[in-house]
Structure 1
Amino acid sequence: MKRLTIDPGTSGPPTKEHTYVPTEMPEAATTKVHPSNAEEDTNAKLMFVGTATTILEWEGMRILTDPNFLHAGDHVHLGPGVNATRLTDPAINLEELPRIDAILLSHYHEDHFDKVVGDKLKRSIPIITTPHAKNCLTSKGDDSFTAVHALDFFQSLTADVKTNKIQAGQKPSVKITGMPGKHIPPGPLSVANDILSAFDNGYRIYISGDTLMVDELKEIPERYKGRGIDLMLIHLGGTTIPSPKMPLLMVTMDANQGVQLMQLINPDVTIPIHFDDYDVFMSPLSDFKKAVKDAGLSDKIVYLDRKDQYNFKVRHSLQPARTVQ
């Protein structure tokens, strides 16, 4: 298993051009919890920034997922002949981003890793991603990123949090595992997209990435049988290409597929993301809310607006209940 040591105290500013980097998380518009994990001494948090961009914080370590800080009216290129326009602003600007210790990148598309982010991020920031994305990020000559770690399906990497605290004789750590997924339905254009998904250390977070509901996902609950998934961040939107006006191909889950994934994975809590930020999304959040209600799953959902924060409790690995891997 690969191992990465992260020192939150020395990870430095996330961008080349910052002169000041906030040390604390941005103030949330609203803070939410879920009855299944509503303890007073919550020790972890997740802020929804927009699209698939979130900030996860635990034990002094911060992980940024799928950084996209473009604004309404900005454009991204998603593939040959396919472009999209952003309809919303992110909860915070890139320049307001607090210290980030690592990036979890589900795949290399501009709505998940935009050009501004690619220009401004420190070349040395650790990025955990797919083999395809690693090749793209490390093939830029002198401007290449220098700490990119690739994971294929069910390969894992352990990120140690370097602190001076002793916690039951162990350093706190996060295990990140690549999960299967397909961004394009079966057919001539189909390619396996190595969705980077599980954030695990006893409290298990599954990030679906831009996948469709495909048979390969059935292996996930089999692998985690008897352990379970605590939190799922599900990418929705029913992204259609070339556009919703000409919906030839759907490449991310719509509302119905999202409910099917909830039923398959059966997480304690699901938070939908990636649902309304670009003009290629055809399935709005309102469709998902209705499908969830009709399926009787409303008590297993937390809905976050941009800049809302979800607080939860992560138990350390030596406690018999659950551990954070």
Structure 2
Amino acid sequence: MQHISIDLSNLQPPTRDQPVAEVAESLPTATASKRHPSSPGGENASIYFVGTATTILEWQGIRIMTDPNFLHAGDHVHLGPGVSSTRKTNPAVDLHDLPRIDLVLLSHYHADHFDQHVEASLRRSLPIITTSHARSTLTSKGPESFTNIYDLEPFQQMMINIGSKSAGQSAPALRVTGMPGKHVPVAKPIEKLNELVGAIPPTNGWMLELGYAQNAGTFNVGYRIYISGDTLLVGDLKEIPRRYAEQNQKIDLMLVHLGGTTVPSPSLAPFTLMVTMDATQGVELMRLVKPDVTIPIHYDDYDVFASSLENFQAQVERAGLGGVVYLDRGEEYRFAVRE
């Protein structure tokens, strides 16, 4: 297990003369605040939905951002040889109106998850946990390289200390575990072609656990969040519920990437390839993982998305599944981290 430390007392707020985005004091007030659909109460943490796969989690004075993408409607991203996409929506907050971010979870190095303006604007020392492919890319840009990048393979773990503790006391901490993901269909010809042209990079999901570290070296989990990342419903994902069910570890929340991303464009069907879960696969993942609450993200922001949120809603209802919270951009989900 790897260890990094974030000492909030030593963090200096970015100044406006630095080429960084994080200059605001706080996030905008959420347009709506939602809670557990059946047992709300005791909320002490929140997830703010910016748009596409970008969320910002706040707990114990820190902010964790996932897959930062802050392009606007009409902006384009390059997704591989001959493949581009146009954004259809605006983010809930502009990149240069962000407050301080303490950690980024980057599922993979793709422009719709880490756009060119994000790459140019975030401070170079910002801790980023990602894939080995993304780490290699982000640390190989000479003077513009990011300097605090960590990579995790599936089921590798990293502890992040976010507060100090005195004798006999616990301190808030995070544990991040890499989760498997496949951004291309599991078919040898397709995988070999992708290796050759490098169109779709390797991707991770994450298990983010919020809890308290003890002096004895133990870690008591107070809340567990599974973030699927850009993956299809592949056999590797079956290992997730097996590992956590065996240890009776409940998954409190799942952030599921949907959209049925179809390249090079949904308009070119049937000569297309689906590279993220559609509504049907999203419902099957709910059945597989059995999270207490599910929040769909990454569902309508780009024109390569072919599977609508409405389709997912309808399939959830037909399947008789509950515990789904729907967030629009600018809304937040508040939850309780157990002590």
TM-score (norm 2): 0.88
Residue matched to 2:147: 146
Aligned to 1:220: 240
- Residue 19 of structure 2 aligns with which residue? 17
Q: How big is the shift at 1:37?
A: 4.6
Partner residue of 1:34 out of 33, 36, 43: 36
Q: Distance in 2 between matches of 1:174 and 1:12?
A: 22
**Given that residues 21 and 121 in structure 2 are in contact (C-alpha distance below 8 angstroms), is that contact kept between their aligned partners in structure 1?**
no
- Corresponding residue number in structure 2 for 1:170: 170
How does 1:141-290 map onto structure 2 within 5 Å?
141-163=142-164, 169-187=169-187, 188-190=189-191, 193-201=202-210, 202=221, 203-225=223-245, 226-247=248-269, 248-290=272-314
Shift of 1:7: 2.4
Compared CA separation, residues 167 and 121, structure 1 to 2 (3 A)? farther
Aligned with 1:133: secondary structure?
A: helix
The Cα offsets for residues 213-241 of structure 1, whole Å up to 9 and x where unpaired, read as: 00000000011011121000000000000
Deviation at 1:8, TM superposition (A): 2.9
C-alpha contact 1:152 1:194 (8 A) present in aligned 2: no
Contact 1:180 1:193 in 2 (8 A): no
Report if aligned partners of 1:14, 1:100 keep a CA contact under 8 Å in 2: no
Aligned with 1:173: secondary structure?
A: strand
Whether the 8 Å CA contact 1:13–1:100 is kept in 2: the answer is: no
Q: 2:336 aligns with which of 307, 310, 313?
A: 313
- Counterpart contact for 1:137–1:144, Cα < 8 Å: yes
Where does residue 62 of structure 2 map in the other structure?
Answer: 61
Q: Contact between 1:275 and 1:285, CA under 8 Å: does it hold in 2? A: yes
Mapping of residues 30-179 of structure 1, within 5 Å? 30-39=32-41, 41-163=42-164, 169-179=169-179
In the TM superposition, what is the alpha-carbon distance from 1:96 to its structure 2 partner? 1.1
Evaluate the alpha carbon distance shift between residue 36 and residue 245 of structure 1 in structure 2; reply closer, same or farther with a 3 A threshold: same
Indicate the larger mover: 243-252 or 233-242: 243-252
SS in structure 2 opposite 1:263?
helix
Give the conservation status (yes or no) of the 8 Å contact 2:22–2:100: no
Q: For residues 31 and 108 of structure 1, what CA distance do their matches in structure 2 show?
A: 31
Q: Unaligned regions of 5+ residues in structure 2, if any?
A: 196-200, 211-220
Letter in 2 for 1:305: D
What amino acid sits opposite 1:238 in the alignment?
A: G
Which residue of structure 1 aligns with residue 198 of structure 2?
Answer: none
Give the match for residue 323 of structure 1: none
Q: Cα RMSD between the aligned structures?
A: 1.8
2:320 counterpart (292, 296, 313)? 296
Letter in 1 for 2:85: A
Distance in structure 2 (CA, Å) of the matches to 1:196 and 1:178:
6
With over 3 angstroms needed to count, the CA separation of the structure-2 counterparts of 1:11 and 1:111, relative to structure 1, is farther
Which residue in the other structure is 1:322 paired with?
none
| Distance across 1 between alignment mates of 2:243 and 2:37 | 26
Q: TM-score of the superposition, structure 1-length normalised?
A: 0.92
State the percentage of identical aligned residues. Answer: 56
**Residue 189 of structure 1 aligns to a residue in which SS?**
helix
Distance 1:273 1:44, change over 3 A: same
**Distance in 2 (alpha carbons) for counterparts of 1:314 and 1:36:** 16
C-alpha deviations, 1:13-60, integer Å up to 9, x for none? 398435982222321000000135511x31100000000000001111
Number of residue pairs aligned between Structure 1 and Structure 2: 313
**TM superposition shift of 1:293:** 0.5
Structure 1 residue runs of 5 or longer lacking an equivalent are 317-325
Following TM superposition, by how much is the alpha carbon of 1:246 offset from its aligned partner in structure 2, in angstroms?
Answer: 1.1
